[in-house]
Amino acid sequence: MKKSFTDRVYAVAATIPKGKVATYGQLAKLAGNAKAARAVGSAMRNNPSRKTVPCHRVVGSTGAFTGYAFGKGIPTKKALLLKEGVKFTENKVNLKLSLWKK
């Protein structure tokens, strides 16, 4: 049976290493539908397992935080990324230094 797009998104997101981030568009492309960045956002918001799918490692195309459904929202997401060593410039992830290259 073929995996759903959401299941493919979760499978790809599960491989983002600590200290790196992926963009919603990047995950959409890797999961098989480059135009489905919003669907990736929905999948991350409904993530059934933050232990296996590190949804905090997914950011907007500019490195901006677009939301986080867990803890205290964006402050929790930023704290998790800082703890993992993700590099920031002002209040955005520095994608030149921290973007995951798959």
Contact 56, 94 (CB under 8 A): no
| Residue 94 pLDDT grade (very low, low, confident, very high; cuts 50, 70, 90) | very high
**Do the Cβ atoms of 33 and 67 come closer than 8 Å?**
no
Domains annotated on the chain, with CATH: 5-98 (1.10.10.10)
Residue 7: per-residue pLDDT? 96
Could you confirm whether 67 is annotated as catalytic?
Answer: no
Rounded Cα–Cα distance for residues 95 and 92 (Å): 9
Question: Can you give the length of the chain in residues?
Answer: 102
Helices (H), 1-102: 5-13, 24-30, 37-45, 74-84, 95-98
Catalytic residue, chosen from 9, 55, 81, 93, is 55
Reported pTM: 0.93
Residues 40-84 pLDDT 10s:
999 999 999 988 999 999 999 999 998 888 889 999 999 999 999
Secondary structure of residue 92 in the 3-state scheme:
strand
